[in-house]
């Protein structure tokens, strides 16, 4: 009698361990994502190429490969800039967070010195008029901290940018961020003593006699001050536009006209006699704040910098 074959025990289904996400991203894809994210942040393929030490054609090639891989156009090309498409904006939200987190996480791996590196994003006017002249003092007192300072007045994006703290103008309402008050601000016209004497400036409406220096990023600054001072909508003899309050002060120092000073940032120029206030009227316009995420509360370099900055301003930490 032929025996029955012995049945093999049933095989159990075994789950295959999934590959980690990092292993599924090919090096070419990672490089394409780097090029894409840099182009988004700088709004330019050319600027991205300079930042990454590549040619513009290399940037275009990597982004084109990424678009083919994803099956979507990621940019709309214009004559002077590039704008992300809806698909590009969605991807940039992910790449921004990922690259910023990686940069923050890997800095300590470079050694003790990197642990003390502090990346700051500082409002342009505050950086040039207040912080930069005092940086040498900070470096002398705290040689253990390496500052990386970026001057910018763009909208803050702590989630997608890798800086640790920022200084911006505001009213103190910064949801999700810790804010430290630095100084209150006010606006008032300033000019050289020579311009003051030449034009015989006595009342706010007299600004019509002088060239008026405007700031392109704050086009309503002068109209607001004139309205508050009761001068109405006076028409100046001439106008000139610059891109920052600091540039407007520099132009006023050259005797080009009257600038709207952002006090107390022009205090040093006033004390030196380079500028003066032709009128007593000044009006509050917010304050400067030092801002950082709650995750940075344990950042030793940031604590040192904050304590030093507040001390320079005569404030308690």
3-state secondary structure 174-186: CCCEEEEEEEEEE
23-108 is classed in which CATH architecture? Answer: Orthogonal Bundle (1.10)
- 117 vs 109, 112, 270, 289, CA distance in Å? 12, 9, 35, 21
- Cβ partners under 8 Å of residue 282, min gap 6: 186, 187, 188, 263
Statement: the pTM of the whole predicted model exceeds 0.75: no
The string of pLDDT tens digits covering residues 288-312 is 999 998 888 888 899 999 999 999 9
Question: How many degrees, rounded to 5, is the angle at CA 124 between CA 118 and CA 127?
Answer: 55
Per-residue model confidence as pLDDT tens for the chain (317 residues): 455 555 555 565 555 566 666 666 777 888 888 888 888 888 888 888 888 888 888 888 888 888 888 888 888 887 777 888 988 888 888 887 777 777 766 665 444 454 488 999 999 889 988 999 999 999 999 998 999 998 887 777 777 677 899 999 988 888 889 999 999 999 999 999 999 999 999 999 998 888 999 998 888 999 999 999 998 778 888 999 998 888 999 999 999 999 999 999 999 999 999 999 999 999 999 999 999 988 888 888 999 999 999 999 988 77
- 305 vs 41, 109, 131, 231, 269, CA distance in Å? 27, 22, 11, 43, 26
CB 166 within 8 A of CB 306: no
The backbone region for 53, taken as left when phi is positive above 0, alpha when psi lies in -120 to 50, beta otherwise, is left
Superfamily of domain 112-180+288-312: Periplasmic binding protein-like II (3.40.190.10)
- Cβ partners under 8 Å of residue 14, min gap 6: none
Six-digit token string for 150 = 């970026």
The backbone region for 273, taken as left when phi is positive above 0, alpha when psi lies in -120 to 50, beta otherwise, is left
CB 67 within 8 A of CB 9: no
Residues spanned by CATH 1.10.10.10 within the chain?
23-108
Angle between helix 45-52 and 56-70 (nearest 10): 110
Residues spanned by CATH 3.40.190.10 within the chain?
112-180+288-312, 185-286
Q: Is 185-286 CATH 2.40.40.20?
A: no
């Amino acid at each position: 009698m032929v025996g029955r074959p012995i049945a093999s025990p049933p095989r159990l289904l075994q789950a295959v361990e999934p590959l980690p996400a990092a292993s599924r991203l090919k090096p070419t894809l990672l490089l394409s994502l780097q090029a894409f994210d840099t182009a988004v942040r700088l709004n330019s393929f050319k600027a991205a190429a300079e930042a990454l030490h590549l040619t513009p054609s290399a940037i275009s090639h990597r982004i084109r490969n990424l678009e083919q891989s994803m099956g979507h156009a990621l940019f709309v090309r214009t004559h002077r800039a590039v704008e992300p498409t809806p698909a590009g904006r969605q991807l940039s939200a992910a790449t921004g967070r990922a690259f910023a987190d990686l940069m923050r996480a890997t800095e300590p791996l470079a050694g003790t010195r990197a642990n003390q590196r502090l990346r700051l994003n500082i409002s342009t006017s505050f950086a040039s008029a207040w912080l930069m002249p005092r940086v040498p003092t900070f470096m002398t007192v705290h040689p253990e901290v390496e500052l990386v300072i970026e001057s910018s007045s763009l909208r803050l994006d702590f989630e997608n940018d890798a800086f640790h703290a920022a200084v911006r103008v505001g009213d103190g309402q910064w949801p999700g961020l810790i804010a430290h008050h630095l100084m209150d601000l006010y606006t008032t016209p300033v000019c050289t003593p020579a311009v003051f004497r030449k034009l015989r400036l006595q009342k706010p409406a007299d600004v019509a006699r002088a060239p008026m220096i405007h700031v392109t990023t704050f086009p309503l600054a002068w109209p607001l001050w004139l309205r508050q001072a009761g001068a109405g909508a006076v028409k100046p003899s001439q106008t000139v536009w610059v891109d920052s309050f600091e540039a407007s002060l520099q132009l006023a120092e050259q005797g080009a006209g009257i600038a709207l000073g952002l006090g107390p940032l022009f205090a040093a120029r006033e004390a030196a006699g380079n500028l003066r206030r032709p009128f007593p009227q000044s009006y509050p316009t917010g304050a400067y704040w030092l801002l950082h995420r709650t995750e940075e509360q344990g950042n030793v370099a940031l604590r040192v910098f904050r304590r030093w900055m507040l001390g320079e301003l005569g404030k308690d930490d």
